[in-house]
Each structure stands twice: as structure tokens, then as C-alpha cells.
Amino acid sequence: MSDVADRVKKIVIEHLGVDEEKVVESANFIEDLGADSLDTVELVMAFEEEFGCEIPDDAAENISTIKNAIDFIETQQG
């Protein structure tokens, strides 16, 4: 597992207070991990802080799963 994936999952576990087993790459923040719309905004902000990047609102709208987040951040860093 990539370093980015580990860090993304750690943030999700901390912010949503969910069990580690549930935080798989296909997990949808809202449907699978019990997040609401405000949680997803906060998650995106936490990703920005952790990875020192900016995630524009239109890109953030497309980040609904762990995998979406990892892919976006890896693209930015690549």
C-alpha cells in the first residue's frame, strides 16, 4: 500500500471515528462510512492540510471514496 493511501486512511479513521476494517479503498464516505456533507468538506480540508495541496471545489465534488482521494492526491504529487 502506498504512503498516500496510508495517510488518507488514517485521516478518515480519525475524522469519521470509524473502524479500520471499514476503511477500504472502495469505501464511499457517505454511503459506507456514515459521513454527512459537512464531514466530506472537512475531510477534503484535512487532505489539503496533510498533503500541502489545494483541492478545488469542483474536484472535491468528485472525491466520494477513499480511492478517489488517493488517486487525486497522487496525480497532484506526480
Partner 1 sequence: MRRVVITGMGMVSSLGVGFKHNWESILGSQSGIRKIKNFDVNDLPAKIGGQVPEGATGDNLFYADDWVSAKDRRRMDTFIVYGLSAAQQAINDSGWLVDSDEKAWRSGVLIGSGIGGLPSIADGAVTVNQGRARKLSPFFIPASLINLVSGHVSIRNGFKGPNHAVVTACSTGAHAIGDAARIIMWDDADVMVAGGTEAAICPVGVAGFCAARALSTGFNDTPEKASRPWDKRRDGFVMGDGAGVVVLEELEHAKARGAKIYAEVVGYGMSGDAHHITAPAENGDGAYRCMSAALKRAKMTPADINYVNAHGTSTPLGDEIELGAVKRLFGHYSKAIYMSSTKSAIGHLLGAAGAVEAIFSVCAINHGVVPPTLNLDDPSNDCDIDLVPNIPKETTVKAALSNSFGFGGTNASLVFKAFS
- The least CB distance from residue 40 to partner 1, in Å, is 9
Q: Which is nearer to partner 1, 39 or 71 (CB)?
A: 39
Active site residue 36: yes
Q: Which residues of the shown chain bind partner 1 in the complex (CB under 8 A)?
A: 15-17, 38-39, 41-42, 45, 49
Measured distance CA(24)–CA(55) in Å, rounded: 22
Torsion of CA 14, 16, 20, 22, to 10 degrees: -160
State the nearest-atom distance from the C-beta of 75 to partner 1, in Å. Answer: 21
